[in-house]
Protein backbone atom coordinates (compact mmCIF):
# COMPACT_ATOMS: atom_id res chain seq x y z
CA UNK A 1 0.00 0.00 0.00
CA UNK A 2 1.46 3.32 -1.07
CA UNK A 3 1.80 6.07 1.50
CA UNK A 4 0.75 9.64 0.83
CA UNK A 5 3.08 12.55 1.65
CA UNK A 6 1.65 13.11 5.13
CA UNK A 7 2.04 9.44 6.04
CA UNK A 8 5.61 9.44 4.75
CA UNK A 9 6.43 12.49 6.87
CA UNK A 10 4.93 10.75 9.90
CA UNK A 11 7.04 7.64 9.31
CA UNK A 12 10.21 9.70 8.87
CA UNK A 13 9.45 11.67 12.06
CA UNK A 14 8.78 8.47 14.04
CA UNK A 15 11.98 6.75 12.90
CA UNK A 16 14.01 9.95 13.35
CA UNK A 17 12.78 10.27 16.94
CA UNK A 18 13.83 6.70 17.71
CA UNK A 19 17.17 7.08 15.89
CA UNK A 20 17.99 10.21 17.90
CA UNK A 21 17.78 8.23 21.16
CA UNK A 22 18.97 4.78 20.02
CA UNK A 23 22.30 3.20 20.98
CA UNK A 24 22.81 0.98 17.93
CA UNK A 25 21.28 0.02 14.58
CA UNK A 26 21.25 -3.24 12.69
CA UNK A 27 19.87 -3.39 9.17
CA UNK A 28 19.01 -6.90 8.00
CA UNK A 29 17.53 -8.42 4.87
CA UNK A 30 14.30 -10.16 5.71
CA UNK A 31 12.95 -11.33 2.33
CA UNK A 32 11.52 -14.82 2.69
CA UNK A 33 10.75 -14.48 6.40
CA UNK A 34 7.29 -15.77 7.25
CA UNK A 35 4.58 -13.72 8.92
CA UNK A 36 4.77 -15.95 11.98
CA UNK A 37 8.52 -15.42 12.29
CA UNK A 38 8.15 -11.64 11.92
CA UNK A 39 5.36 -11.59 14.52
CA UNK A 40 7.50 -13.54 16.99
CA UNK A 41 10.46 -11.24 16.31
CA UNK A 42 8.33 -8.12 16.85
CA UNK A 43 6.99 -9.50 20.12
CA UNK A 44 10.49 -10.28 21.37
CA UNK A 45 11.68 -6.83 20.21
CA UNK A 46 9.01 -5.08 22.30
CA UNK A 47 10.05 -7.13 25.35
CA UNK A 48 13.76 -6.33 24.96
CA UNK A 49 13.63 -2.62 24.11
CA UNK A 50 14.30 -2.91 20.39
CA UNK A 51 12.46 -0.73 17.88
CA UNK A 52 11.86 -2.93 14.85
CA UNK A 53 10.53 -1.40 11.63
CA UNK A 54 10.34 -2.17 7.93
CA UNK A 55 10.60 1.15 6.11
CA UNK A 56 11.43 2.21 2.57
CA UNK A 57 15.13 2.90 2.37
CA UNK A 58 14.64 6.47 1.12
CA UNK A 59 12.49 7.23 4.16
CA UNK A 60 14.99 5.55 6.48
CA UNK A 61 17.83 7.58 4.95
CA UNK A 62 15.92 10.80 5.62
CA UNK A 63 15.13 9.67 9.15
CA UNK A 64 18.77 9.04 10.10
CA UNK A 65 19.95 12.43 8.79
CA UNK A 66 21.64 14.30 11.61
CA UNK A 67 22.05 11.23 13.83
CA UNK A 68 25.01 8.96 14.46
CA UNK A 69 23.45 6.46 12.04
CA UNK A 70 23.87 8.83 9.10
CA UNK A 71 27.10 7.00 8.14
CA UNK A 72 25.00 4.11 6.82
CA UNK A 73 22.79 6.18 4.49
CA UNK A 74 24.51 5.07 1.29
CA UNK A 75 24.36 1.38 2.19
CA UNK A 76 20.61 1.20 2.79
CA UNK A 77 19.69 -0.83 -0.28
CA UNK A 78 17.36 -3.76 -0.77
CA UNK A 79 14.48 -4.91 1.42
CA UNK A 80 15.72 -4.09 4.92
CA UNK A 81 14.44 -4.48 8.44
CA UNK A 82 15.74 -1.82 10.83
CA UNK A 83 16.42 -2.77 14.46
CA UNK A 84 17.30 0.12 16.79
CA UNK A 85 18.46 -0.67 20.35
CA UNK A 86 16.68 1.85 22.54
CA UNK A 87 17.60 0.62 26.02
CA UNK A 88 21.03 -1.02 25.72
CA UNK A 89 23.47 -1.29 22.79
CA UNK A 90 23.52 -5.10 22.49
CA UNK A 91 19.76 -5.73 22.50
CA UNK A 92 19.28 -5.48 18.72
CA UNK A 93 22.32 -7.69 18.13
CA UNK A 94 20.97 -10.40 20.44
CA UNK A 95 17.54 -10.22 18.79
CA UNK A 96 18.82 -10.48 15.21
CA UNK A 97 21.34 -13.19 16.14
CA UNK A 98 18.68 -15.25 17.91
CA UNK A 99 16.20 -15.10 15.04
CA UNK A 100 18.83 -15.56 12.32
CA UNK A 101 19.73 -18.96 13.84
CA UNK A 102 16.29 -20.35 13.05
CA UNK A 103 15.78 -18.42 9.83
CA UNK A 104 18.44 -18.44 7.12
CA UNK A 105 16.45 -15.78 5.22
CA UNK A 106 17.19 -13.16 7.90
CA UNK A 107 20.65 -11.83 7.00
CA UNK A 108 22.25 -8.90 8.82
CA UNK A 109 23.76 -6.38 6.38
CA UNK A 110 25.26 -3.66 8.54
CA UNK A 111 25.81 -2.56 12.11
CA UNK A 112 26.15 1.03 13.31
CA UNK A 113 27.32 1.88 16.84
CA UNK A 114 28.70 5.18 18.08
CA UNK A 115 28.75 6.81 14.66
CA UNK A 116 30.82 3.98 13.15
CA UNK A 117 29.55 1.53 10.56
CA UNK A 118 30.66 -2.09 10.79
CA UNK A 119 30.09 -5.13 8.57
CA UNK A 120 27.36 -7.65 9.29
CA UNK A 121 29.83 -9.93 11.10
CA UNK A 122 29.87 -7.44 14.00
CA UNK A 123 26.37 -8.57 14.98
CA UNK A 124 28.15 -11.29 17.01
CA UNK A 125 30.26 -8.66 18.80
CA UNK A 126 27.23 -6.49 19.53
CA UNK A 127 25.23 -9.48 20.74
CA UNK A 128 28.00 -10.45 23.16
CA UNK A 129 27.83 -7.12 25.02
CA UNK A 130 26.52 -7.59 28.56
CA UNK A 131 23.05 -6.45 29.51
CA UNK A 132 22.67 -3.61 31.99
CA UNK A 133 22.10 -6.05 34.86
CA UNK A 134 25.16 -8.11 33.89
CA UNK A 135 27.32 -4.98 33.62
CA UNK A 136 26.16 -3.76 37.04
CA UNK A 137 26.92 -7.19 38.54
CA UNK A 138 30.40 -7.12 37.03
CA UNK A 139 30.96 -3.63 38.43
CA UNK A 140 29.78 -4.70 41.89
CA UNK A 141 32.22 -7.65 41.85
CA UNK A 142 35.09 -5.38 40.82
CA UNK A 143 34.25 -2.89 43.55
CA UNK A 144 33.88 -5.60 46.21
CA UNK A 145 37.11 -7.42 45.32
CA UNK A 146 39.55 -5.10 47.22
CA UNK A 147 37.52 -5.41 50.43
CA UNK A 148 37.35 -9.18 50.02
CA UNK A 149 41.11 -9.43 49.45
CA UNK A 150 41.75 -7.25 52.52
CA UNK A 151 39.51 -9.44 54.68
CA UNK A 152 41.31 -12.58 53.45
CA UNK A 153 44.70 -11.02 54.23
CA UNK A 154 43.62 -10.03 57.74
CA UNK A 155 42.28 -13.52 58.37
CA UNK A 156 45.47 -15.11 57.06
CA UNK A 157 47.61 -12.97 59.38
CA UNK A 158 45.32 -13.75 62.31
CA UNK A 159 45.51 -17.47 61.54
CA UNK A 160 49.32 -17.35 61.38
CA UNK A 161 49.54 -15.63 64.75
CA UNK A 162 47.06 -17.99 66.35
CA UNK A 163 44.42 -15.32 66.69
CA UNK A 164 42.02 -17.21 64.52
CA UNK A 165 41.18 -19.70 67.27
CA UNK A 166 38.36 -19.06 69.68
CA UNK A 167 39.47 -17.78 73.09
CA UNK A 168 38.67 -20.07 76.05
CA UNK A 169 35.54 -19.07 77.88
CA UNK A 170 36.18 -17.35 81.21
CA UNK A 171 33.59 -17.79 83.88
CA UNK A 172 32.57 -14.55 85.49
CA UNK A 173 32.41 -14.26 89.29
CA UNK A 174 28.98 -13.50 90.68
CA UNK A 175 28.49 -9.87 91.57
CA UNK A 176 27.12 -9.16 95.01
CA UNK A 177 23.98 -7.12 95.06
CA UNK A 178 23.89 -4.04 97.31
CA UNK A 179 21.77 -4.46 100.43
d(C-alpha 165, C-alpha 154), whole Å? 14
**pLDDT score of 44:** 92
Spell out the alpha helix ranges (H) of the chain. 5-21, 35-48, 57-63, 91-101, 123-127, 132-160
75: burial class by Cβ within 10 Å (0-12, 13-18, 19+)? middle
Inter-helix orientation angle 91-101/35-48, to 10°: 150
Mean pLDDT of the chain: 83
Strands in 116-119's sheet, in edge-to-edge order, are 50-54, 80-85, 24-29, 107-113, 116-119
Name the β-bridge partners of 25.
Answer: 84, 112
What is the band of 83 on the pLDDT scale with cuts at 50, 70, 90?
very high
pTM above 0.95, yes or no: no
Residue 122 has pLDDT above 80, yes or no: no
CB 103 within 8 A of CB 39: no
* Mean pLDDT in residue range 14-42: 90
d(C-alpha 13, C-alpha 107), whole Å? 27
What is the band of 84 on the pLDDT scale with cuts at 50, 70, 90?
very high
Amino acid sequence: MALNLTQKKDVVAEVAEVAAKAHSLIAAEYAGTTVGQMTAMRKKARETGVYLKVVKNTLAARAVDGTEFEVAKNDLVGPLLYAFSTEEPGAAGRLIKEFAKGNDKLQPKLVVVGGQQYPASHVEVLASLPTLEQALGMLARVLAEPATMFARAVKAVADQQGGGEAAPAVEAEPVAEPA
